[in-house]
Chain A
């Protein structure tokens, strides 16, 4: 997962996480998000987990940092389309209540725009 497919429209950045988000791929996502958020144009960030196979605690850390960054700039991070397996990782770590999670990408985009 060296490449992160993304779209930017109406100040909402939508990123799709394909494959595995683990110790090896997390630094790439960290760098990618840092570059995109640096521009100051992103008011809402949507991360789509639909094709995500796996997330480790290193991946959760990147999401947590992204949430903090968005919050400090007055924006929002919305996660969407978590598979049962990914959801379980969030549940065990106790992260589910910490993030805004939507069932679908469409709902997430709406939530990010509000």
Chain B
């Protein structure tokens, strides 16, 4: 038996040690680093020969350890009910074994593998303040050769509580970091996607005496809508408006392929219906994701205003005269690209007189929804377009303002894209 004064000494020494450990493990966020620190501190504070720490994985119902001293850095995994650690975890109770080789629960295989000779074992559950068991810590062989006593049990329990809180915090931080990484990847994808769209390149447009304005607002970070405009040759401007089924990264990749194919095929001098046919066949070679894309493609003769067009299942654009007359492009046969092969697309033709606008859009406009689930609709869009506009940019602004006024506080449910060309 210890004398009262030496008991007090021990208590004070333990308290000091605990405080020190608490301070140290409180400063570590990285889980591996933390586990290592807990193990080494436990060994020294407990005045033991070795310690092991097992974390509980609720998803697989296993205990795992990367830091059992003397075992190297190999990860060890076993069912959460197994052995002394398993029993500590499931019963949430301390197990104090004075002589390991006389206890049936003890598994001597680690001793055999490492050459270590276990005499006594003290095993404690790691329980957080909120009552969650996050693992088990074990100390082996008290340095003075005696079994672990009640003071040791108390001390290891106290250490265990500190460790449990630190481990839980570290795990929460890791989950948060993972989420941040995913979020960052999506943000980057969205940025790459936005950079694939032509900018409103004033110098290019001015030099070619062209007036084009565009706007795209994805509903999720990475959307499925896209548009493009580019010169096929000196006298022909291609205008593309597309909507990939679905959103997110797969849709963005499909969009990138489609956009690239259209541009390269259109520059071979093919007519819009031939371009869509070829791009459709190429897309069908790509994958079996069931993904498809609706596309309007117009090729404008910039001197005459003639527009040759084809439509792969996309909403028909509008032609708006300077006085505000609104005419929908005559529908032509076609189907979304990527659905089925050997499709014939219809060839459409119309004429834009000087000052006429070509207004293309995606269904994010006509299907914009208010809080009651009512749709913006083609009717309201046509009514809005029925006015005098001074520029393509003002047409887009008017559409966006009107859609905003319609949906009010309802969340944006689909990507919304508008591209307007004015024939000068």
Contact with B along A56-83 (1 / 0, CB 8 A): 1110111011001000000000000000
11 contacts between A and B (CB under 8 A): A20-B373, A23-B413, A56-B367, A57-B245, A57-B294, A60-B245, A61-B245, A61-B292, A92-B313, A94-B333, A97-B335
Sample of 13 further A-B pairs with CB below 8 A, known A57-B224, A60-B245, A68-B288: A23-B219, A23-B246, A23-B247, A23-B413, A23-B414, A57-B244, A57-B292, A61-B246, A92-B294, A92-B313, A93-B336, A94-B313, A98-B340
Residues 95-106 of chain A: 1 if any B CB is under 8 Å from the residue's CB, otherwise 0?
101100000000
B residues adjacent to A (C-beta < 8 A): 219-220, 224, 243-247, 288-292, 294, 312-315, 333-336, 339-340, 363, 367, 373, 413-414
A residues apposed to B, CB below 8 Å: 20, 22-23, 26, 53-54, 56-58, 60-62, 64-65, 68, 92-95, 97-98
Instruction: List chain A residues, Cβ under 8 A from B335.
Output: 93-95, 97-98
Q: Please indicate the chain A residues that have their CB under 8 angstroms from the CB of B413 in the complex.
A: 22-23, 56
- Cα–Cα, bound, A54→B414 (Å): 13
Please determine whether B290 and A26 come into contact, CB atoms closer than 8 angstroms: no
A94 to chain B: closest CB distance in Å? 3
Interface centre among B246, B247, B413 (most CB of A within 10 A): B246
Q: Is the CB of B339 within 8 A of A95?
A: yes
Which of chain A's residues has its CB closest to B340's CB?
Answer: A98
A16 to chain B, nearest CB (A): 19
**A92 is contacted by which of B244, B245, B246, B315 (Cβ under 8 Å)?**
B315
When the two chains form their complex, are residues B373 and A68 in contact, meaning their CB atoms are under 8 A apart? no
Instruction: Return chain B residues, CB-CB under 8 Å to A54.
Output: 367, 373
Of chain B, the residue at the smallest CB distance from A97 is B335
Measured in the bound complex, the distance between the Cα atoms of B245 and A60 in whole Å is: 8
Is the Cβ of A56 less than 8 Å from the Cβ of B414? yes
Contact A61 B290 (CB under 8 A): yes
Name the distance in Å between B111's Cβ and chain A's nearest Cβ.
Answer: 49
Q: How far is the CB of B343 from chain A (nearest CB, A)?
A: 8
* Residues of chain B contacted by A20 (CB below 8 angstroms): 373
Nearest first, the 7 A-B pairs at minimum CB distance are A94-B335, A65-B290, A93-B313, A61-B245, A94-B313, A57-B245, A58-B246
Bound state CA distance, A98 and B15, in angstroms? Answer: 77
Tell me the complex Cα distance, A57–B339, Å.
12
Which chain A residues border B367 with CB–CB below 8 Å?
54, 56
Q: Enumerate chain A residues within 8 angstroms of B246, measured Cβ to Cβ.
A: 23, 26, 57-58, 61
Q: In the assembled complex, how far is the CB of residue A6 from the closest CB belonging to chain B, in whole angstroms?
A: 21
A77 to chain B, nearest CB (A): 13
Taking a contact as CB atoms under 8 Å apart, the answer to whether A68 and B290 are in contact is: yes
Contact B339 A98 (CB under 8 A): yes
In the complex, A90 Cα to B129 Cα: how many Å?
57
CA distance A95 to B414 in the complex (A): 20
Partner of A61, one of B291, B314, B363, B414: B291
The residues of A that contact B289 with a CB separation of less than 8 Å are: 65
Most chain B CB atoms below 10 A, which of A54, A64, A94: A94
Nearest B residue to A56 via CB reads: B414
Q: Which residues of A contact B288 (CB under 8 A)?
A: 68
User: Which one of A22, A64, A93, A94 lies within 8 Å of B290 (CB-CB)?
Assistant: A64
B339 touches A64 (CB 8 A): yes
B243: chain A residues at CB < 8 Å are 57
Query: Are B247 and A94 in contact (CB-based, < 8 A)?
Result: no
A13–chain B nearest beta-carbon distance, Å: 19
Contacts of A60 in B (CB 8 A): 245, 292, 336
A93-B414 contact given A26-B246, A60-B245, CB 8 Å threshold? no
B336 contact from A22, A26, A95, A97, Cβ within 8 A: A95
- Chain A residues in 8 Å Cβ range of B313: 92-95
Most chain B beta-carbon neighbours within 10 Å: one of A57, A65, A97, A98? A57
B227, chain A: closest CB distance, angstroms: 16
CB distance from A61 to the nearest CB of B (A): 4
CA distance A93 to B313 in the complex (A): 4
In the bound complex, what is the Cα–Cα distance between A104 and B281 (angstroms)?
34
Cα distance A62–B246 in the bound complex, in angstroms: 10
Beyond A57-B363, A58-B245, A95-B336, is A64–B292 a contact (Cβ under 8 Å)?
yes
Bound Cα distance from A20 to B367, whole angstroms: 13
Q: How far is the CA of A68 from the CA of B290 in the complex (A)?
A: 8
CA gap between A109 and B37 in the complex, in Å: 67
Instruction: Please state if B245 and A94 are interface contacts (CB–CB under 8 Å).
Output: no
Give A93 to B338 CA distance when docked, in angstroms: 12
Cα-based distance from A92 to B317 in the complex (angstroms): 12
Q: Which residue of B lies closest to A24 (CB)?
A: B413
Would you give the shortest CB distance from A106 to chain B, in whole angstroms?
A: 28
On chain A, the residues within 8 Å of B333 by CB distance are 94
Give A65 to B178 CA distance when docked, in angstroms. Answer: 32
Smallest Cβ-Cβ distance to A94: which chain B residue? B335
Q: Which of A58, A62, A64 contacts B247 (CB 8 A)?
A: A58
B-chain residues with CB within 8 Å of residue A53 when the two chains form the complex: 373
Cβ B373 vs Cβ A93 within 8 A: no
